[in-house]
Structure 1
């Protein structure tokens, strides 16, 4: 992993240097750097050709690649920031000498590789060529009886508040069972409120309260964004919200009775059948939670169930196991000891390997003794068979806290900033490639999907505790460790000890632990000359020291609080991502908007600008301003004037989010010139109007979210004509009027439709007007009399979700469900009613 990641990053850095006109490179030095790049590309190909082997030279490759990249980055920094000749600690001749030495060392490794010394153990020959299918509707194999039992207890006759403990060893399926019961349509409809809290070993009362409150947003009358709330106040809000309502709270992965003592006072017992379901590996915790009822003890799967689950994970739906693999497959399933996690992970290995007896026998030999060793060998085997390009990406996920649900958009930006992505061209961006990497890790069952977007892409992901433990161990194996208090929670640190003191800190710094709040102290920041990623949770002074803007190699800069961005931001010439979004605990929304400096337009490496609607992107006005060709995301900007000139400066923008707070003409019709735009969100606040005429949107749009506007419903024809639109969210009176009548030929690709806070009364439509619709959600549609019958007859429809503010709408949704079952036998359609 470390060798491959170091080589990919070195190749990208040398390419950036060789293709830039900012640096003065003598002919001899340019030839040296070109050779280094060619050697790096050769070694990358060698590692990719032998993904299953652990090379004896891997550690040496990592060290030399890292040292060489640090040397080249130091050269780039000196040329840009300082007069080279005035620097005494590393002369030009010394640089040439070190560069020559690095090229020779890498060249020697290439020679050894070509001579056959690039060898490793021969115990694994599984190819990654074939990937396991993604089953979005997995059958809960072996849990059918458990699920019936749990559902009966959840909806049982007892009106008293009951706790239902699910116990068993790690990986046996406790969380899977709880999640299937929690998401069951009959359970969803039975409880007024449902909330899921993952506790874990190192639990936080504040996090539990925050999670509960987040699950109750529909019921909270007072919501103050960005305001820190005292834990006592939070607990009171949770209690009041649950009071009088039938609720289901799941507490997943509970490790101590102390947690239960802390949360008991949150849950009122109103004699209405409320339930608390918890999962724990410790039987004494389950008994302590409720000694009056039985523990639900998870059982191991039998051999047949293990084999059925293994087949499900290895073969696509409807595909049979080849007869020559059946016997060895059943033996592999038996070796997993009835542990579902073991079966799932082995399935990931088999699905990514060759469908031959020899390949499957090798897997069987490697996993024979894993169960007794608590999956250690199995998990290591899973890692061992990861392709080289996936290993660094996988290990970085382990840097997030236990049970943390990772925002995929953030994870991908970190992968790109670390230099883990090799490609990136006009046909496939780094971000597109990263999404493929993540889906690959999911298919291998190493990464869990916490939530998918309406488009089907992964929105949030996480790691199973045992898999994360593997990540941490492997990270410790391949990275140096520091004991300094300030940096002890960083990941991917490489110590370079023979370069000048101000550059000794790492080129591969990742991020601060989510649990750490640190201050940007100038003296410390000044030592991080080669820092690539800086993710700051909190700073008591709310000021950025000037040393931050000397971090020439910084690629990812995220702040959880508001600051005024100075013109010196342009010194960060390699910056790809700038995020300024306050956390609820730390950030407060400012009283006025702040303009970004004009210098933001002189940062060609920018890929993502993400704000919380408090920054204005200035109009450069200078016709000679070059476009930001790499910028893909511009999210959360205020009052963007969409002049044609500005649109031309954003030619490859894919995601745009704007808020308008004043009643002006913002030329939004010019958005049609953003030919690559896929996601657009426009928000109107207060009494502003963001358009004065019929809206025009780019034909490339796949997702459109509109908040406010009060346009006539007939203007929806413009939206319906968008040929690629898959997700449409209409919030807070976007369209005004009592009748919406659709026509044939529109919304041809639409899969998800949300209408929220609308005065619509009559919706006239036909089945073929939404031919691909999967999910319809109607929230706070007070006046809508009924859902058109044609909606229920859409063959692709899977879900109708309504709230109980409009009884006639609820009745209409239920009638559609009954008709679909009675006349068409459609069991796929679900109707969810949210109680508010």
Structure 2
């Protein structure tokens, strides 16, 4: 029997580099040692596919069951050696797992003393599921023995106790050091958001674009698409946590682990990338080195008084979270490119705002008339003016943007509770770069306006007071780039004939809310060849029976019916050949899920929630049981009814 050999290579990068630099002498020696032996090699913390290629060349393959295991922080590197093998992805631990690991590291096989049990649970909870933090703090606890006072001191500030250890910081810093240079500012920027903040990806992407972090050298992708790829890259490197994903797999929100955010803030302060007032402990004393040459500021309410103490000549980004407006300070920051006031409500727009000629991104809570001075912000790409009481003003008069909005050729994203003005006859400019237009009156759907925003990709409009013969909705077909449309109406008791709509065939996502379209007229939607997601909310369709037709909705993957008076749904599995997810929410009149739904081969989830009949819940569970009997274990049924 051949001799077995177990080998551990702790630094794969160094071995690979040595074998190359030494003319292959090290590699040849390793090859001879392992030849004709069965070996298990563990390569810890490998950082590149090139390192694997170099090492792979010196590992003999004698077909004797030898194995190689590697650990890495990069998903792409993990998948590279064998794309067909499943990866074991390490996740953050829950509180029970953290407690178990902490006890094992501190006490081994012995029981934890009762007087320390509650402190163990508190410390484990404060490690926030990060195994490395648990291991580091376990080493500290072992060193102090069972001294209750020392344990309490560590429990009170686990993060400081952990990060004070140079080894821990060095390990985390490796992730940053190995980032490509174009990803470093994207990662550091996330540290500007508050601790435990759930970051909306849609907002993060626009901020990165405004900061010029992403560029499209070949022009084949939009800046926003390139930014999304950067975010996916940070996630693959396990630097960013995914909080929520959309059904189509796109990331909806993300966040940073507390300790990773601490790393961001430290690196940012070192390079004067941004100043985080929440992280500045002694606010009474600002050294000159802190005040000067800062580029970005992240400020909370407690930090507002200190904003006036920093050098304003180099500040080009201010992110505000909660608290009062900083409008009265704007005259100090003439070079601002990004101004995000978060959920700070601004009652009136100061004239100083329109002196910020470099402004690219502007976001705040504001409901009111926009002055003609907006034309002075000719570099503006993103204008987001949210309203805190939008629904209360739904039936109120819509404020109209000034004619000067047409003089902002760089505008890419516009969110405003109002409407675009009809361009004057002498207007020759257009918003050709506009991709997103949210929360605007249906009046924008005139043929002339739509031809002046030809590259729109996302549109959300409200049909307030929209009656047959007065609507321009059939002009939507002119938007040849539109992929996402949200259409709201306040006319629940009216009837919309289908000839009011002509949707562009490019649509992939469609949301109809309170749009009183008869169920039998839904063929205008079913004929869309690229539709992947359909959401029918708040009595979106009139009538009590929906009978679907084969050959429609052929690409639909997600269907939501919410707050509907639908009583009878007649369909077959062939009518939804690609459906993956069905959500029925507050369908209080619907008695059952059609049997044919369960026979759709692509179906992964049926979710029933809200106020519904028990017969609807039972029919969903019956479909699940039938599919299990047929050997289909891929279907999941979730029922969360409130009755």
Considering the TM-score relative to the shorter chain, is it more than 0.5? yes
Classify 1:641/1:520 alpha carbon distance in 2 versus 1 (closer, same or farther; 3 Å).
closer
For residue 825 of structure 1, report the CA deviation from its aligned partner.
3.5
1:541–1:410 distance in 2 versus 1, CA, 3 Å: closer
Query: Is 1:719 equivalent to 2:522 in the alignment?
Result: no
Task: Give the deviation of 1:126 after TM superposition.
Answer: 7.2
- The yes-or-no answer on 1:790 pairing with 2:625 is no
Greater shift, 505-514 or 620-629, is seen at 505-514
Tell me the distance in 2 between the aligned counterparts of 1:714 and 1:690.
Answer: 12
Per the normalisation by structure 1, the TM-score is 0.55
CA shift for structure 1 position 589: 5.1
SS where residue 451 of structure 1 aligns?
strand
Q: Secondary structure at the match of 2:510?
A: strand
Corresponding position: 1:478 with 2:281? no
Instruction: Give the match for residue 119 of structure 2.
Output: 284
Q: Which residue of 2 aligns with 1:594?
A: 399
For 1:439, the equivalent position in structure 2 comes to 232
Does the 8 Å CA contact 2:127/2:134 hold for their aligned counterparts? Answer: no
Q: Are residue 826 (structure 1) and residue 633 (structure 2) matched? A: yes
Instruction: Determine if the alignment matches structure 1 residue 493 to structure 2 residue 294.
Output: yes
Compute the RMSD of aligned alpha carbons: 4.2
| Inter-CA distance 397–481: structure 2 relative to 1 (3 Å threshold) | closer
Structure 1: state its 5+ residue gaps: 1-122, 148-164, 174-280, 289-294, 307-335, 342-368, 496-502
Q: Does 1:808 align with 2:601?
A: no
1:694-730 Cα distance to aligned partner (Å, 9 max, x none): 3221111111000122222222222122121111100
> What corresponds to 1:53 in structure 2?
none
TM-score (norm 2): 0.70
Q: CA deviation at 1:596?
A: 0.7
Question: 8 Å contact 1:560–1:587 — kept in the other structure?
Answer: no
Aligned residues: 509
Residue 340 of structure 2 is aligned with which of 525, 535, 538? Answer: 535
Note if 1:556 corresponds to 2:556.
Answer: no
Measure how far apart 1:635 and its partner are: 0.4
Aligned-partner Cα distance in 1 for 2:591–2:382: 47
Alignment of 1:325-474 (within 5 A): 373=166, 375-423=168-216, 426-474=219-267
Displacement, 1:379? 1.3
Alignment of 1:648-797 (within 5 A): 648-664=451-467, 665-686=470-491, 691-694=496-499, 695-797=501-603
> What SS does structure 1 have at the residue aligned with 2:640?
strand
Q: How far has the Cα of 1:801 moved from its partner? A: 1.1
Q: Is the 8 A contact 1:757 1:781 kept in 2?
A: yes
Residues 1:370 and 1:536: Cα distance change in structure 2 (over 3 Å): closer
Distance 1:463 1:300, change over 3 A: closer
Distance 1:814 1:167, change over 3 A: closer
Encode CA deviations 1:190-217: one digit per residue, 9 max, x unaligned.
xxxxxxxxxxxxxxxxxxxxxxxxxxxx
The CA deviation string for residues 127-186 of structure 1, in whole angstroms up to 9 with x for no partner, is 699456699x9878799xx99xxxxxxxxxxxxxxxxx748489989xxxxxxxxxxxxx
532 and 131 in structure 1: CA distance in 2 versus 1, 3 angstrom threshold:
farther
Cα deviation digits, residues 325-372 of structure 1 (max 9, x gap): xxxxxxxxxxx799699xxxxxxxxxxxxxxxxxxxxxxxxxxx9996
Cα deviation for residue 511 of structure 1 reads 3.0
Secondary structure (helix, strand or coil) at the match of 2:231 reads helix
Report the secondary structure of 2:607's partner residue: strand
Superposition deviation, residue 751 in structure 1: 1.4
| CA-CA distance at 1:438 after TM superposition | 0.5
1:632 aligned residue (403, 411, 435)? 435
CA distance in 2, matches of 1:811, 1:734: 25
Q: Deviations over 1:735-783 (max 9, x none)?
A: 2222222222222221110011222222222212212211101112222
Q: Distance in 2 between matches of 1:296 and 1:552?
A: 48
In structure 2, runs of 5+ residues without a counterpart are 1-45, 51-73, 104-115, 138-161, 297-309
Q: Give distance in 1, aligned partners of 2:272 and 2:495.
A: 51
CA distance in 2, matches of 1:760, 1:682: 20
Contact 1:172 1:298 in 2 (8 A): no
Q: Give, in angstroms, the shift of residue 517 of structure 1.
A: 3.0
Q: Which has the higher contact order (CA 8 A, sep 6+)?
A: 1
- Judged with a 3 Å threshold, the aligned counterparts in structure 2 of structure 1 residues 505 and 448 are, in CA distance, closer, same or farther, namely same
